[in-house]
Amino acid sequence: MERPLAIGSPESTRSFGDVVELMRIQAKTPPGNDPCIGSCYECLVSLIDTDEEIGDFFARIYQERSSLTPAHAVNLTFRSIQHIQLNLKSDRSYLDFETSEQWRPLLVELMAPDNRKLLEELLLIKDTITTVYQRYAGPKAIISSYWNGDPVNVADFGCGANVGLPGIELNVPFEAITDETPDQLVLSENRKPLNIQVGLAIDKYNPEDPDVKMWSIACSHYPKELRELKGDNELASRFKGSRNTAFLQADLLSQQAPHMIPKNEFDAVILSTVLYQRTPTERETIITEAYKAIKSTGIIIIQDFARKDPVNSQALLFNGAWGGGEFGYRTFILRKYPNADLLEALRWSDGRCRTVKPGEDFNVLQQER
């Protein structure tokens, strides 16, 4: 079935300047307001501006990996540096850095001609697999308000560490949420358990692989969180014991994916923070796959750093607003029935999902109750 909807802005000319611009923004408003990340970007921008060799190094990688979006490139750069320091060098000293000057010797060494191969490899092949259970509070509230306790089949495309569906199935509570929606719908729906009959979590990386686990830790935590984290195992054990959720290792963009993913099977497909990493053409492929996977009464939940295109309310524009106070992390619903509208359900303070406001089409959730 053809999906009667265009998602994604047209492919535009790629410019490394967009990456540097986004780094500049993130230096001022870093994810989670973490000064360690902000000062790292500040130092990177200054090195790129002043050291031709370092500037050329990053620009060449960005040109070589043509599928990298600016937001993904910026995010991937910090995560790769964190992975090298934390996991490969077992050096946690950077966790306390708060200024560009503190970062400079470390970054200069990392990018010295003899050492830069490691960073280059990560930037050329890795995807960030940042996984945050809290992000599933929005999708859970939406599914709960649509199906109201009835059994549901749910797929999670790009599940990362695969905590979303197991956590929802086991009714693992979310952290506190400041809910500014009418009747505090998000909080009240999240109080109810969701009856997941079949859960299918899909990712191109297997979260049980030890190397993937290490990369996932570097991707999923801010330095300030890592300073406080006593053991990631303790965190993971909360999500053990799910019976109804299976994991499928598959690249959603591969030719095999359409043969591996059941069709007409799911009430909801969740796409949480996956599409921002992909080019507009790849987003189309993934959405088309999700569209085939849902039943005629099903919905796709897209949650990302995105907003509706002001000139085409059926299209999404993706941005790199990781920090910031503009509620740029949003939850959208795409459905087949009664019409193929794209609806903006919720707006979150940021990708850590601790404060939520109604989106412009929030009332669709009240109608479903």
**Interface ranges with ligand SAM (CB under 6 A):** 127-132, 135, 158-160, 203-205, 251-253, 272-274, 277
The least distance separating ligand SAM from the CB of residue 9, rounded to whole angstroms, comes to 18
Which residues fall within 8 angstroms of residue 44, CB to CB, at 6 or more apart? 23, 58, 77, 107
Considering beta carbons, is residue 58 or 348 the nearer one to ligand SAM?
Answer: 348
Q: Within 10 Å of residue 131's Cβ, how many Cβ atoms?
A: 23
Which residues fall within 8 angstroms of residue 293, CB to CB, at 6 or more apart? 155, 261, 262, 263, 264, 265, 266, 269
Considering beta carbons, is residue 43 or 271 the nearer one to ligand SAM?
Answer: 271
Tell me the C-alpha distance between 355 and 159, whole Å.
Answer: 22
Burial class (CB in 10 A: 0-12, 13-18, 19+), 126: middle
Residue 272 backbone phi and psi in degrees, to 5: -100, 115
The least distance separating ligand SAM from the CB of residue 33, rounded to whole angstroms, comes to 19
Tell me the C-alpha distance between 53 and 59, whole Å.
Answer: 10
The least distance separating ligand SAM from the CB of residue 226, rounded to whole angstroms, comes to 17
The least distance separating ligand SAM from the CB of residue 251, rounded to whole angstroms, comes to 4
β pairing state of 312-318 and 294-309: antiparallel
Considering beta carbons, is residue 256 or 339 the nearer one to ligand SAM?
Answer: 256
User: Are the C-beta atoms of residues 292 and 258 closer than 8 Å to each other?
Assistant: yes
- Using the structure block, give the residue that is written with the tokens 């009430």: 267
The least distance separating ligand SAM from the CB of residue 148, rounded to whole angstroms, comes to 24
Q: Within 10 Å of residue 105's Cβ, how many Cβ atoms?
A: 10
Considering beta carbons, is residue 111 or 163 the nearer one to ligand SAM?
Answer: 163
Number of H helices, E strands in the chain: 15, 10
Can the peptide bond before residue 338 be classed as cis, meaning omega within 30 degrees of 0? Answer: yes
Considering beta carbons, is residue 147 or 215 the nearer one to ligand SAM?
Answer: 215
The least distance separating ligand SAM from the CB of residue 210, rounded to whole angstroms, comes to 16
The least distance separating ligand SAM from the CB of residue 247, rounded to whole angstroms, comes to 12
Q: Is 195 helix (H, G, I), strand (E, B) or coil?
A: coil
Which pair of tokens denotes residue 219? 């991707």
Nearest to 153 by CA among 9, 270, 277: 270
Residues comprising the chain, all counted: 369
Considering beta carbons, is residue 129 or 334 the nearer one to ligand SAM?
Answer: 129
Considering beta carbons, is residue 125 or 311 the nearer one to ligand SAM?
Answer: 125
The least distance separating ligand SAM from the CB of residue 136, rounded to whole angstroms, comes to 7
Tell me the C-alpha distance between 265 and 241, whole Å.
Answer: 24
Considering beta carbons, is residue 132 or 290 the nearer one to ligand SAM?
Answer: 132
The least distance separating ligand SAM from the CB of residue 5, rounded to whole angstroms, comes to 20
Considering beta carbons, is residue 156 or 189 the nearer one to ligand SAM?
Answer: 156
